[in-house]
Chain A
Amino acid sequence: MDPLERYLDQVCRSIGGPRPLRDHVRQELREHLHDAAARHRAAGLSDEAAVAQALAEFGHPEQVRSELEATHGHRAMAVVIDTALRWKEGTMRAKWLWATGAHLGLALVIALEAAFITFLVVFIVPRFHKLMRDGIIDPAVLDEHGVSWMPAYLNSLSTVAGGYTTWLVLGAAVLWGLFEWRVKSENKSLMRLAVMGGAAVKLLAVIVLATGSMLVSMMLAAPATGQMARPFAAEQVKAVDTAAEAVESAVAKPDWAAATEQADRASAALTRLTAGPALASLTGWEPPTTDDLRARVKEAQDHLRAVRQALDAKGTDRATAELAEFRKAFAPVREAARREGR
């Protein structure tokens, strides 16, 4: 900035009163300084020296400002800004250190973001697409209004990052080179930081949109994925019933070894039924809920353990009674397996 204007900034920035008055004061001082500098130039000084001499004769900016403030008052906000600027001048003597730190920090953020996007594009998005191809994530779920852009966005990201990375990097490098070559502004450092900050924010937006698209897609597809467990659950329910009937037949003979073997099979099928989303796949929009079914299965397991103990003791009556209790406890699960799913 012109030293004369910088001087006027220092003198006039905190003068009170309406803006027209402040503008008048500034204009008046400017005219005086131009006149004084012209006189010094006429006396043989260079432009720079003439302005410096005019400013020196006018007085230290702090003193002139103080006297003008005594006449016109001062602006509170300007005083706050002035205090902040003084603090800045006092603490940021090593400006290059701060500027370098800011540049390095932003460059690190951009590098990390670029690395994470690369990781997404190379490892995560292809797996997401495979899940879609395999039907684990039902593409029909993502056709709904409001979410249909998500798979399209992921496709575009893969296409751009996969096919145009070199051009993007080259384009950025050329723009950067042009900026460093052509821009001569004294605010160049700030401009560079602003561009880097903007790039960091845009890359962050790319990451948030990509991860958000995948997360939302997975969440929307989760109920359909859970339903895929229904045939497995129905198969386990059938296995439990078949084994329980076999236990009854064996107890009636009585064939304790066969009864014990079938009781163990029923127990194993019950255990498989409690794993993963199997029980949840048997629920619908109406009760029983997953928690209800889980409680019933646990009750059935307890009765089956009692059956097992009765078989070990060869107690026909007790085994028969516990089997009846087992069937009663397991009935809601069997009923749920017979109904239509969601």
Chain B
Amino acid sequence: MDTELLKGTLSLLILSLLSRKAMYGYQIAATVHADTDGAFQWREGSLYPALHKLEQAKLIAGEWEDTDAGRKRRYYRLTAKGRAALTEKTAAWAELCRAVNRVLEVSNGPA
């Protein structure tokens, strides 16, 4: 999939995934990979700047936790502000999809 398309949707994907439960970075990347059957071919390093931007905007909050294996993971969870932003972004995304689909249907005919 075009990585430029992914860039615009990365924030929405992160907020959406975190609405399920708190996750750490690698877990988010692995879930995206699993849920899309590997359709998103992205640089995993892009995930962290996006996470940190969302955290700076207080849409998500990160917290370090120790694991039983002696590792440390930074879990991110959605904030109230993030939940509102997710609702807003989801609606905007649905509207965008409908608009794009209408154009595609007119051009190509109904699927």
Q: Could you list which residues of chain A lie within 8 angstroms of chain B, going by C-beta atoms?
A: 11, 24-25, 27-29, 31-32, 34-36, 57-60, 63-64, 67-68, 70-72
Contacts and interface: CB of A to CB of B under 8 A. Distances in A.
Is the contact region of chain A dominated by helix, strand, or loop, or is it mixed? helix
Instruction: Give the residue among B24, B48, B71 with the most A Cβ atoms within 10 A.
Output: B48
B43 A71 contact: no
B1 to A, nearest CB: 16
Q: Which 4 A-B pairs have the closest CB atoms?
A: A59-B43, A64-B45, A59-B45, A67-B49
Interface string B28-46: 0100000000000001111
B98 interface: no
Nearest to B41: A57
B73 interface: yes
Contact of A64 (B26, B43, B53, B64): B43
Contacts of A27: 72, 74
A36 B29 CA distance: 10
B53 A58 contact: no
Contacts of A31: 24-26, 71-74
A68 B73 CA distance: 19
Given A58-B45, A59-B43, A32 B29 contact: yes
Given A70-B49, A71-B56, 7 more contacts: A24-B64, A27-B74, A29-B45, A31-B26, A36-B44, A67-B49, A71-B49
B81 interface: no
Nearest to A68: B49
A285 B56 CA distance: 83
Contacts of B74: 24, 27-28, 31
Contacts of B43: 57-60, 63-64
Interface string B64-102: 100000011110000000000000000000000000000
Contacts of B48: 25, 28-29, 32, 64, 68
A67 B71 CA distance: 26
16 contacts: A24-B74, A27-B72, A28-B74, A29-B48, A31-B24, A31-B26, A31-B74, A32-B25, A57-B44, A58-B45, A59-B46, A60-B43, A64-B45, A64-B48, A64-B49, A71-B56
B28 to A, nearest CB: 10
Given A67-B49, A71-B52, A71-B56, A58 B44 contact: yes
Contacts of B72: 27, 31
A67 B25 contact: no
A36 B26 CA distance: 8
Instruction: Give the residue among B24, B44, B46, B73 with the most A Cβ atoms within 10 A.
Output: B44
A63 B26 CA distance: 19
A72 B45 contact: no
Contacts of A67: 45-46, 49
A63 B45 contact: yes
Contact of A28 (B25, B29, B53, B56): B25
A86 to B, nearest CB: 20
A50 to B, nearest CB: 14
Nearest to A72: B52
Nearest to B28: A32
Contacts of B25: 28, 31-32
A35 B45 contact: no
Contact of A32 (B26, B49, B52, B53): B26
A60 B43 CA distance: 9
A64 B25 CA distance: 15
B44 A35 contact: no
A29 B49 CA distance: 11
